[in-house]
Amino acid sequence: MTTAPALTRYADLPALIGLMTGDEKHQIAADSTREVLWVLYDRVLNVSPQAADDPDRDRFLLSKGHGPAPYYAVLAAKGFLDLATLRSWAAFDSPLGHHPDATLVPGAEIGSGSLGHGLGLGVGTALGLRAQGRTGPRVFVLLGDGELDEGSNHEAIAAAGRLGLDNLTAVVVDNASATHGWPGGIDTRFSGEGWAALSAPGRDQSALHDALTTPHRGRPLAVIARVRPKG
Amino acid sequence: MRDTFAEVVGAALDTDPRLAVVLADISADRFAAAARRHPDRVVNLGIREQLMIGVAGGLALTGMRPVAHTFAPFLVERPFEQVKLDLGHQGAGAVLVSHGASYDGSHYGRTHMAPGDVALLDSLPGWTVHVPGHADEVGPMLRSALRGEGNVYVRLGERGNAAARPVGPELTTVRAGSARSSGVVVAVGPMLDRVLAATGDLDVTVAYAATVRPFDRAGLNRLAARAGQADVLVVEPYLAGTSAHEVAAALEDRRHRQRSLGVIRDTEVRGYGTPADHDRAHGLDVEGIAKQARDFFLLST
Which residues make beta-bridge pairs with B91?
Answer: none
Q: Do B51 and A130 touch (CB under 8 A)?
A: no
**Contact list, B56 vs chain A (CB under 8 Å):** 124
Q: Nearest-CA distance from B10 to chain A in Å?
A: 16
pLDDT 10s digits, A61-107: 999 999 899 999 999 999 999 999 999 999 999 999 999 999 999 99
Any domain includes A24? no
The DSSP letter of residue B152 is E
Residue A218: is it exposed, middle or buried by C-beta count within 10 angstroms (0-12/13-18/19+)?
exposed
Which residues form the domain of A213?
A: 32-65+108-226
Complete edge-to-edge strand list for the sheet that includes strand B257-263 = B172-175, B204-209, B183-188, B231-239, B257-263
Per-residue pLDDT, B21 = 98
Q: Which residues of chain B have pLDDT under 50?
A: none
What does pTM read for this prediction? 0.96
Residue A180 lies in a domain: yes
- Tell me the C-alpha to C-alpha distance, in Å, between residue B36 and each of A18, A166, B39, B43, B146: 55, 21, 6, 11, 21
At B101 the pLDDT is: 87
Q: Does residue A85 fall inside a structural domain? A: no
Tell me whether residue A213 is in a domain.
yes
Q: Does A119 touch chain B (CB under 8 A)?
A: yes
What pLDDT was estimated at residue A6?
83
The closest CB to that of A123, out of B58, B85, B91, belongs to: B58
* β-strand pairing of A59-62 with A139-144: parallel
Closest partner residue to A120 (CB to CB) among B64, B66, B82 is: B82
CB atoms within 10 A of CB A230: 16
Is the pLDDT at A185 greater than 80, yes or no? yes
ipTM of model: 0.95
Partner residues linked to A225 by β-bridges? A173, A200
The alpha carbon of residue B45 is apart from the nearest alpha carbon of chain A, in Å, by 6
In a domain, residue A36? The reply is yes
For residue A75, being part of any structural domain is answered with no
Strand partners, A139: A59, A168
Is the Cβ of A97 closer than 8 Å to some Cβ of chain B? no
Q: What is the pLDDT of residues A7-31, one digit of tens each?
A: 999 999 999 998 997 555 556 556 7
Cα–Cα dist A54/B62, whole Å: 10
Residue pair A93/A103 in contact (Cβ under 8 Å)? The answer is: no
Read off the pLDDT of residues A126-179 as tens digits, 9 standing for 90 and up: 999 999 999 999 999 999 999 999 999 999 999 999 999 999 999 999 999 999
Confidence at residue B73, expressed as pLDDT on a 0 to 100 scale = 97
Q: Does residue A162 lie in a domain region?
A: yes
SS3 content of chain A, % helix, strand, coil (to 5): 40, 15, 50
CATH of the domain at A162: 3.40.50.970
Q: What is the pLDDT of residue A29?
A: 58
Number of domains in chain A: 1
pLDDT in tens, B155-207: 999 999 999 999 999 999 999 999 999 999 999 999 999 999 999 999 999 99
Question: Which residue, among B16, B37, B52, B62, would best test binding to A if mutated, counting the most A CBs under 10 Å from its CB?
Answer: B62
A12 part of a folded domain: no
CA pair distance B195, B197, nearest whole angstrom: 5
CA B61, B67, B70, B74 dihedral sign is positive
Vertex B178 angle, CA B175 and B181, to 5°: 95
Best mutation target among A101, A132, A149 (most B Cβ atoms within 10 Å) is A132
**A226 falls in which pLDDT band (50, 70, 90)?**
very high
Mutate to test the interface with B, among A57, A121, A139, A152 (most CBs of B within 10 A): A121
